[in-house]
Structure 1
Amino acid sequence: MSEEILINVSPVETRVALVENGVVQELYIERSHGKGYVGNIYKGKVVRVLPGMQAAFVDIGLGRTGFIHVADMIPEPPEGESRRHDLPDIRTLVRDGQTLLVQVAKDPIGTKGARLTTHLTLSSRYLVYMPNSLHIGVSTRIDDEQERERLRQGVETAAQASGVSGGFIVRTVAEGVDTDSIVADIPFLQKLWADLSAKQPTVDAPAVIHEDMPLYLRALRDLARAPLEKIRVDSRLSWKQMRDFAANYYPQLVELIECYTDGRPLLDLYGVEEEIRRALDTRVPLKSNGYLIIEQTEAMTTVDVNTGAFVGHRNLEETIFKTNLEAASAIARQLRLRNLGGIIVLDFIDMQDPEHQRQVLRTLEKALEKDHAKTRITGVSELGLIEMARKRTRESLGQMMCEPCPVCHGRGQVKSAETVCYEIFREILREARTYNNEKFLVLASAVVVDRLLDEEAAYVADLEAFIGRTIEFQVETLFTQEQYDIVLV
Structure 2
Amino acid sequence: MRTIAIHTKTSEKVGLVIDNGQLIEYMATRPEASQLSGSIFKGTVKTIHKSMQAAFVDIGESRQAFLKKELIPWGRKTIENSITEGQSLYVQVTKEPIDSKGAQVTADLTLPGLFTIYQPYGKKVSVSRKIEKHQAAHLKEQVSNFLEEGEGAILRTNAADTDLSLIKGELKRLKSEWNSLNDRKKPGVMWRDDVLLNQLIRKYANGSDEVVVDDSEISQFLKKRFPYMENKIKWRKNMAQYTNHSINELQDLLTKRTITTDEGVQLVFDKTEAMTVVDVNSHRYMDRSLSSDDPLKVNKRAASEIAKQVRLRNESGMILIDFISMKSSAHNQELLQWLRQEIKKDPITCKVHGMTKLGLVEMTRTRQLPSVHAQLLQLPETKYNLPTLWYRLERYLMSQEHQEAVLVSVSPDLYNLKKQLLLEPISSKIPQELFVRQNDHLTGWQIELEGSLDIIREAAHRRGYNVDKLF
What TM-score results when the alignment is normalised by the length of structure 1? 0.82
Match of 1:129 among 118, 122, 131: 118
Question: SS state of the match for residue 479, structure 1?
Answer: coil
- Is 1:258 matched with 2:258? no
Structure 1 position 236 matched with structure 2 position 216: yes
Task: Tell me what 1:83 maps to.
Answer: none
Residue pair 1:123, 1:129 contacting (<8 A) in 2 also:
yes
Structure 1 pair 338/65, CA: closer, same or farther in 2 (3 Å)?
Answer: same
Q: Is the 2:240–2:246 Cα contact (8 Å) retained in structure 1?
A: no
Structure 1 counterpart of 2:90: 101
Distance 1:229 1:197, change over 3 A: closer
Other-structure match for 2:465: none
Tell me how far apart the structure 2 counterparts of residues 27 and 39 of structure 1 sit (CA, whole Å): 18
Q: Deviations over 1:159-192 (max 9, x none)?
A: 3333544444443545xx42644x8435643663
In structure 2, how many angstroms separate the alpha carbons of the residues matched to 1:157 and 1:312?
65
Indicate yes or no: 2:20 matched with 1:21: yes
Aligned position for 2:386: 417
User: What is the CA deviation profile of residues 192-229 of structure 1, one whole-angstrom value per residue up to 9, with x for unaligned ones?
Assistant: 346635757x4313143322246234433221222x33
Q: Is 1:122–1:189's contact at 8 Å kept on the other side of the alignment?
A: no
- Which structure: larger Rg? 2
* Residue matched to 1:403: 378
Aligned residue number for residue 156 of structure 2: 171
Q: Note if contact 1:8-1:266 (Cα within 8 Å) is conserved in structure 2.
A: no
Residue number in structure 1 paired with 2:461: none
Offset of 1:270 from its aligned partner?
4.1
User: Of the candidates 452, 455, 467, which is equivalent to residue 420 of structure 2?
Assistant: 455
1:428 is matched with which residue? 397
1:472 aligns with 2:454: no
Contact 1:4 1:230 in 2 (8 A): yes
Aligned-pair RMSD on alpha carbons? 3.0
Any unmatched runs of 5+ in structure 1?
Answer: 77-86, 405-409
User: CA offset at residue 125 of structure 1?
Assistant: 0.6
Aligned ranges for residues 54-453 of structure 1 at < 5 Å? 54-73=53-72, 90-134=79-123, 137=126, 142=130, 147-149=131-133, 152-164=136-148, 165-174=150-159, 177-178=160-161, 180-181=163-164, 184-186=166-168, 188-189=170-171, 192-193=174-175, 196=178, 199=181, 202-213=183-194, 215-226=196-207, 228-247=208-227, 250=228, 253-262=229-238, 265-266=240-241, 269-270=244-245, 273-311=248-286, 313=288, 315-404=290-379, 410-411=380-381, 414-432=383-401, 435=402, 437-452=403-418
- Give the partner amino acid of 1:123: P
After superposition, give the CA deviation of every residue in 1:36-66 in whole Å (9 maximum; x if it has no partner): 2211111111233344554333222234332
Change (3 A) 1:421 1:354: same
Aligned ranges 1:31-50 → 2 under 5 Å: 31-50=30-49
SS at match of 1:231: strand
Q: Cα 1:372–1:138, aligned 2, differ >3 Å: closer, same or farther?
A: farther
1:392 Cα deviation (Å)? 1.0
Q: 1:309-358 CA distances to partner (integer Å, 9 max, x unpaired)?
A: 11264535333222211111111111211111112222212222233223
Q: 1:315 to 1:192 in 2, by over 3 A?
A: closer
SS at structure 1 position matched to 2:286? coil
C-alpha spacing 1:230/1:353, structure 2 compared with 1 (3 Å):
same
Partner amino acid, structure 2, of 1:485: I
The Cα of 1:3 is off from its aligned counterpart by 1.3
SS at match of 1:156: helix
Supply the distance in 1 between the matched residues of 2:74 and 2:355 (Cα, whole angstroms): 36
Give the counterpart letter for 1:258 in structure 2. Answer: K
* 1:269 Cα offset (Å): 0.8
Matched residue pairs, number?
450
3-state SS, counterpart of residue 331 of structure 2:
helix
Letter in 2 for 1:381: T
Give % identity: 26
TM-score, normalisation: structure 2: 0.85
